[in-house]
Amino acid sequence: MRYFDSSAWMRRLESEAVLPEGFQAAAASMDFVPAEKPDAGKQNMNLAVIRLEEPTVSFAGVFTRNAFPGWPVVAGRRLLDAPAVQGLLVNNRVANVGAAGGLEDSQRLSRLTAELSGAEGPYFQSSTGVIGWKLPITEMEAVLPGLCEAPSDDSLLPFARAIMTTDAWPKIRSSNCGGGRIVATAKGAGMVEPDMATMLAFFLTDVDIPRDIARRMLPEVVANTFNRISIDGEMSTSDTVLFFSSRRKPYPGDAEFRRSLTETAAALSEDVVRNGEGCGHVIKITVSGLDDEIKAASIARSIANAPLTKTAVRGNDPNVGRIIQALGAACGGSGLDLNRDVLELSIGDEAIYGKGRFLLNEEKEASLIEYLKKRELPVPPLGWPPHEECVQVTITLGDGRSSATVIGSDLSEEYVKINADYRT
Residues 60-79 that bind its own copies (CB under 8 A): 64-69
CB of 96 to its own copies, least distance (A): 11
- Tell me the C-alpha to C-alpha distance, in Å, between residue 327 and each of 330, 387, 394: 5, 28, 12
Taking alpha carbons only, the member of 125, 122, 17, 108 closest to residue 63 is 125
State how far the Cα of 323 lies from the Cα of 298, in Å rounded to an integer: 15
Is 132 a residue that touches its own copies (CB under 8 A)? yes
Cβ-based burial of 256 (10 A; exposed 0-12, middle 13-18, buried ≥19): middle
CB of 279 to its own copies, least distance (A): 13
Contact call for residue 344 and its own copies (CB under 8 A): no
Binding to its own copies by residue 340, rule CB under 8 A?
yes
The residue (of 57 and 329) whose beta carbon lies closer to its own copies is 329
Nearest Cα neighbor of 157 from 11, 8, 30 is 11
Site for its own copies contains 153 (CB under 8 A) = no
> Which residues in the 29-48 window bind its own copies by CB under 8 A?
36-39
Kindly tell me which of 274 and 281 has the beta carbon lying closer to its own copies.
281
Using the minimum distance from each CB to its own copies, give the nearer residue, 349 or 421: 421
Site string for its own copies, 94-113 (x = CB under 8 A): -x-xxxx-------------
Across 9-92, the runs of DSSP E, i.e. the strands, are: 23-32, 43-56, 59-63, 85-91
Q: Which of 55, 210, 252, 307 binds its own copies (CB under 8 A)?
A: 307
Q: Among candidates 348, 353, 359, which has minimal Cα distance to 396? A: 353
Cα of 22 vs its chain's centroid, Å? 25
Q: Using CB under 8 A, which residues numbered 242 to 301 contact its own copies?
A: none
Interaction residues for its own copies, span 5-34 (CB under 8 A): none
Restricted to residues 157-196, the positions that interact with its own copies (CB under 8 A) are 190-191, 193, 195
CA 292, CA 394: separation in Å to the nearest integer?
17
Cα separation, 192 vs 123, whole angstroms: 25
Asked if residue 48 lies in contact with residue 241, where contact means CB atoms within 8 angstroms, the answer is: no
Minimum CB separation of residue 101 from its own copies in Å reads 9
Preceding amide of 219 cis, omega within 30: no
| 315 near its own copies, judged by CB under 8 A | yes
Contact positions with its own copies (CB under 8 A) in 351-390: 353, 357-358, 360-362, 365
Active-site residue, selected from the candidate residues 198, 264, 309, 394: 198
- Taking CB under 8 A as the binding criterion, the range among 49-57, 58-66, 120-128, 245-253 that sits at the site for its own copies is 58-66
Write the interaction track for its own copies spanning residues 192-221; mark x where CB under 8 A is met and - where it is not: -x-x-x------------------------
> How many Cβ atoms from other residues are within 10 Å of residue 161's Cβ?
17
Contact (Cβ atoms closer than 8 angstroms) between residue 144 and residue 108 = no
CB of 72 to its own copies, least distance (A): 14
Q: Does residue number 419 form part of the binding site for its own copies (CB under 8 A)?
A: yes
Do residues 20 and 58 touch, judged by C-beta distance below 8 A?
no
Q: Among the candidate windows 78-86, 141-149, 158-166, 415-423, which touches its own copies by CB under 8 A? A: 415-423
Distance CA 54, CA 65 (A): 31
198 counts as catalytic:
yes
Only one of the segments 90-98, 109-117, 155-163, 201-209 lies at the binding site for its own copies (rule: CB under 8 A); that segment is: 90-98
Among 162, 184, 324, 347, binds its own copies (CB under 8 A): 324
Contact 265, 309 (CB under 8 A): no
Question: Least distance (Å) from its own copies to the CB of residue 7?
Answer: 32
Contacts of its own copies in 393-412 (CB under 8 A) = 411-412
Asked if 333 is part of the footprint of its own copies (rule: CB under 8 A), the reply reads yes
- The Cα-based distances of 66 to 80, 199, 238 in angstroms read 18, 13, 8
71 vs 384 by CB, closer to its own copies? 71
150 binds its own copies (CB under 8 A): no
Decide: is 135 part of the binding site for its own copies (CB under 8 A). Answer: no
**Which residue number, 81 or 421, has a Cβ lying nearer to its own copies?**
421
Cα atoms in the Cβ-side hemisphere of radius 13 Å centred on 287: 28
Q: Cβ atoms within 10 A of the Cβ of 355, count?
A: 11
Spatial CA neighbour of 385 closest among 1, 63, 66: 1
Q: Which of 54, 317, 350, 376 binds its own copies (CB under 8 A)?
A: 317
Residues in a beta bridge with 90 = 48, 126
Q: Does 320 bind its own copies (CB under 8 A)?
A: yes
Positions marked active-site? 198
